[in-house]
Amino acid sequence: MNEDTSIVRFRQPDEINDPLTALLRSGARQLLEQAIEAEVAAFLAASKDLKLADGRDRLVRHGHGPAGPAWPWAGWSGMAMGRNA
C-alpha cells in the first residue's frame, strides 16, 4: 500500500490544545451551572405557594428530596433518594 504523508489530521471540536482554553471552558461551565441553579431556585421559590388538591407542592425539584424508602412495599431501608444523596 502506498503511504501518503501529505494527509493532515484535522483538530476535533472536543480537543483542547492548551491549558488556557481548558481553564476557560471549565470556568464557563461553572458559571453556567451556577446561573441555572440560581434561576431554578428563584422559580421554585416564586411558585412555592402552588399546591395540589391533596396539599403537596405543585412544583418540586426531583432528585433533591430527603431520604425515603427504596421500596415502599418492603419498608424503610434508609436509602437516600435522588442523584445528590
pLDDT tens string, the chain, 85 residues long: the values are: 567 678 787 777 777 778 888 899 899 999 999 999 999 999 999 988 999 999 888 888 877 666 666 666 665 555 555 554 4
- Please give the helix or strand (H or E) that residue 39 lies within, else none: helix 19-46
The DSSP call for residue 78 is -
The contacts of residue 68 (CB under 8 Å, 6+ apart) are 79, 81
Report field, pTM of the whole predicted structure over 0.85:
no
Domain ranges in the chain are: 18-48
User: Is residue 35 classed exposed, middle or buried when 0-12, 13-18 and 19+ CB atoms within 10 A define those classes?
Assistant: exposed
